[in-house]
Amino acid sequence: GDFNADGYDDLAVGVPFESVDEIANAGAFQVIFGSAFGLTPINDRIFYLGNNMPGAPASGEYLGWSLVAGNFDPNSVGDEVAVGAPGTTVSGQSGTGAVWVVKNLAGASSASILHLDVDGMPGEAESGDQFGCALAAGQFDGVGGDDLAVGACQREVGEVDGAGAVYLTYFATHPSAVVTQ
């Protein structure tokens, strides 16, 4: 994506097994900015919970397991990145998973979280869902900016354990991040 809106492609790289402050497998991701001469480590940035992102890292979250760039918020500077953390504990349920959508990657970044206990999500978080294990971006509804598809690789569907599910978030038509399954 072009995260700093300078007309050059940038690269986000996930490091899901990164230890942060001796917290094993908390995860991180790094942004390397492009230029007329290609990718350059000058001004690159590393992101993890507590550094350029809100919150505190926890063991086994695997932030950076999956990443996808997209224009999820046309009002922000440059593209955004959605970052999966399929090991995140949500509502006391381990391994439920979460996805962070991070804006303004070149400046004072901000991030919002999606998980299965967010208002508008069908169902509720269950241990081991692995929400955020896979991500895809595209204009799925044909309106405005990009939308986000989030895989929950081990989500129980009906009576089938580990069947998996895909959740779609339509940012442009549903600013409150209404999601359908």
pLDDT, position 180: 44
122: pLDDT strictly greater than 90: no
Alpha carbons 73 and 130: distance in angstroms, whole number: 25
The pLDDT tens digits of the residues spanning 77-104 come to 899 999 999 999 999 999 999 999 999 9
127: pLDDT strictly greater than 80: yes
158: pLDDT strictly greater than 90: no
> What mean pLDDT is predicted for residues 106-117?
91
42: pLDDT strictly greater than 90: no
- 132: nearest Cα among 148, 109, 108, 145: 148
Strands, E assignment, 23-159:
28-35, 38-49, 52-53, 66-70, 80-85, 98-103, 110-114, 131-138, 147-152
> What mean pLDDT is predicted for residues 118-128?
86
Sole residue written with tokens 């690269």: 11
pLDDT, position 165: 92
pLDDT, position 149: 95
